[in-house]
Structure 1
Amino acid sequence: MKRLILSFFAWSTMVASAFSQTYQELSERAFATTEQDSLELAKQYIAQAMKADPANPHNALLFSNLGTIQRRQHQYDQALESYTMALNIAPRAVPVLMNRATLYLELGKEELAKMDYSLVLDLEKDHSEALLMRAYIYMSQRNYKFARADYEHLLKLVPQSYSGRLGLATLEQKEKNTDAALAILNAMLAGQEEPDGLTASQRAVLYVARAGVEQEMNQADLAVLDLEEAIRQDPSQAEAYLMRGQIYLSQKKKGLAKRDFEKAAALGVPRVEVRELLQQCK
């Protein structure tokens, strides 16, 4: 987030004309207090700066920073309004479009987020984060053809992208190309394309993903082994407990299944999602 704010700051200083000293001082104080997490004080400086010079093009940055502060304070409607005001002043500002798209996703407005990511890609066709996020949205909408195009574009730019490769493996699984999905996940776990290695948490996610493919291929024993390894790598992997519990339940191992479902709930899986599963363990 800081990188986006800083890059937009550099952009805005180039397009803005000379600021009045008061306006510039207020803007600098707003930026400094935001960096220090003094968010309420930063909001006050932003409001004072915009009041001092309402027509200043630098206000696009102030609106964007205000939106980020409001988002951090979970004031989502106000943040959306602030990002939109920033874009009214600077409609081609990529960092603001990215911020608003992320906020739209948090609000469950996938179509609006996709529109903003598409605008970014119209401006910067090789923007890797926009490609990744738009591919994710396309996949969630079952528009697999367009999701594949974005993932493949991303992986041409960044062949070692963890998220890009994992996303493509998930897409292959959804399209029932289980062999292709396994090939991607196996390569990632073998570290063939990751010279710096993977974190334990990243490896755990891959083991869970591979277990999901193996489960679809009716290879329950292999799936359980992968889920056990995922838990060993990262004991906080709630999805691993949930999936293993489902396998145990299908094998009539109700005691083991109940234990895993309860662990998944303790790690954050909504109780409503495991309630029926727990009922089946009686």
Structure 2
Amino acid sequence: MLAIPGNLNNLKTAFKYYFLYGTNNRTRIILNKILAVFWLSENDTKSVHGGTCAFSDPEYLKNQFSYKRHKNSDTYSLGVLFWDLSSGVPPYKNIELADIVQKVISGERETPIDGIPIDFMKLYHDAWNNDPNLRPNIAEIRHKLNNIQIAPVYHSNQNINADVSSIGLAELLEDNSNDAVLLRNRGIAYNKLGRYDEALVYLTNSLKIEPENTFVLKIRAGVYMLLCRFEEAIADFNHFLKIIPNDAEVLGFRDAAYRMIGRYDEALADSNRLLAINPDDAVSLSGSYDESQESPLELTLRCRGSTYYEMGRYEESLSDFNKALKIRPNSEFALLGRGKTYRKMNRYEESLVDLNKLLEIKPNDSFSLQERGITYRMMKKYEESLDDLHESLKINQYNSFALGECGA
């Protein structure tokens, strides 16, 4: 059966990765393998160790001597662990052990956290059901995880009412399905609440009435981006750009969407198009620049540099990052990009210079420490590498890449 203490870190890492990076096939494979490991063990002796009563099947806690735990007991533990992952705090924190046992047995569970996907909330509620026979099995859990939707998200009644009041959503709920402006405003309101599925319904209905409304097209594309539905976002950006061909903001968004799904040639075309629209931007490459302002030219150059990097065109990537850093010498993204590019080119000393500078700007950045740790490893400076990777994990224990580099 499930032994929480020995495996908790790996499972936490996997599910943190899942919610950070979405439900792509690679993530699903990782999750399914980890879940399978949990259900392979036949050890029935270590479900409860000290404070892990919070994770234990209430039926077991009622009678620890005679109740034989089974896979449904593991499902209960997994449900509590899912809540733990969504909240970032241990269940029943700062409550005495005897009181925890009583709460679990009586059916008192932790409350959902605002902003958690409702699909995920329903999953852990089903998993920690007091009746073992009503809990989902591992196949059902896998299926639900694979099909989980990021939106809509849960809000407590108090918070949702406050949000509704602040944006006047109640006034928008009058029945007038043929009013494009009202439908648009409903969509915008739901978008502000993080209720993206509902936002899409209203924005789509508004566009059925006014299909050429570029304002609504841009908003709906933004909602699709938030939901990681990049193909649909690109379709809206394409429609927008047929109406307003040289809108720099939308070209930049489409560039980003293309990169997110690995369509680098098209991303590159958009970056080049952006640079052609206004090649000099507001700042000449030979001029000075106010660090408090973000330059669109610098942004475009580092985005194109990132695209070249993903395409393995490192000389061109380096050229763009150099230009971006000439405009804005302390650009964190450009320093990171150039540092990684130097490393790909086996120019480790130069990579280290950029990553050192980046860590002077952001001393406690987990990702930057991870990248410098990798560079040190490539330089065969293994002690320095491990120091950086361990420090990265102190800041972000869910950094699965750093865990892998450390051999955890």
Work out whether the TM-score is over 0.5. yes
Q: Does 1:185 align with 2:355?
A: yes
Aligned equivalent of 2:399: 237
Contact 2:259 2:307 in 1 (8 A): no
Flag the 1:145–1:24 CA change in 2: closer, same or farther, 3 A. same
Q: Does 1:207 align with 2:369?
A: yes
**Pick aligned residue for 2:232 from 78, 89, 103:** 78
1:173-203, Cα deviation, whole Å (9 max, x unpaired): 12222121122222333x2xx3xxx263x2x
Q: CA deviation at 1:165?
A: 0.6
In 2: Cα distance, 1:73 partner to 1:208 partner = 28
Flag the 1:240–1:159 CA change in 2: closer, same or farther, 3 A. same
* Partner SS state of residue 160, structure 1: coil
In 1: Cα distance, 2:227 partner to 2:395 partner = 33
Q: Does 1:37 align with 2:199?
A: no
Letter matched to residue 240 of structure 1: A
In 1: Cα distance, 2:393 partner to 2:195 partner = 39
Aligned equivalent of 1:108: 262
In 2: Cα distance, 1:151 partner to 1:47 partner = 39
In 2: Cα distance, 1:218 partner to 1:132 partner = 29
In 1: Cα distance, 2:193 partner to 2:394 partner = 38
In 2: Cα distance, 1:182 partner to 1:139 partner = 18
Map residues 247-262 of structure 1 onto 2, 5 A cutoff: 260=408
Letter matched to residue 87 of structure 1: L
Choose 1 or 2 for highest CA Rg. 2
Flag the 1:107–1:140 CA change in 2: closer, same or farther, 3 A. closer
| Identity in percent | 21
Aligned equivalent of 1:176: 346
Aligned equivalent of 1:129: 299
In 1: Cα distance, 2:227 partner to 2:369 partner = 35
1:206-253, Cα deviation, whole Å (9 max, x unpaired): 2222222222222222222222222223322222221122xxxxxxxx
Flag the 1:182–1:41 CA change in 2: closer, same or farther, 3 A. closer
Q: CA deviation at 1:41?
A: 4.5
Aligned equivalent of 2:220: 66
Q: Does 1:91 align with 2:245?
A: yes
In 2: Cα distance, 1:173 partner to 1:73 partner = 33
* Partner SS state of residue 273, structure 2: helix
In 1: Cα distance, 2:214 partner to 2:307 partner = 27
Flag the 1:242–1:124 CA change in 2: closer, same or farther, 3 A. farther
Aligned equivalent of 1:277: none
Q: CA deviation at 1:29?
A: 4.2
In 2: Cα distance, 1:77 partner to 1:230 partner = 34
Contact 2:271 2:300 in 1 (8 A): yes
Flag the 1:177–1:81 CA change in 2: closer, same or farther, 3 A. same
Aligned equivalent of 2:378: 216
Structure number with the higher helix fraction is 1
Q: Does 1:140 align with 2:310?
A: yes
In 2: Cα distance, 1:103 partner to 1:220 partner = 37
Letter matched to residue 99 of structure 1: F
Letter matched to residue 243 of structure 1: E
Q: Does 1:120 align with 2:280?
A: no
In 1: Cα distance, 2:373 partner to 2:183 partner = 54
1:33-61, Cα deviation, whole Å (9 max, x unpaired): 4323344444444345444445x6xx122
What 5-or-longer segments of structure 1 have no aligned partner? 1-21, 246-259, 261-282
**Pick aligned residue for 1:46 from 179, 203, 206:** 203
- Counting matched residue pairs gives 215
Letter matched to residue 62 of structure 1: V
Q: CA deviation at 1:26?
A: 4.6
1:239-281, Cα deviation, whole Å (9 max, x unpaired): 2221122xxxxxxxxxxxxxx1xxxxxxxxxxxxxxxxxxxxx
Q: Does 1:162 align with 2:337?
A: no
In 2: Cα distance, 1:183 partner to 1:74 partner = 34
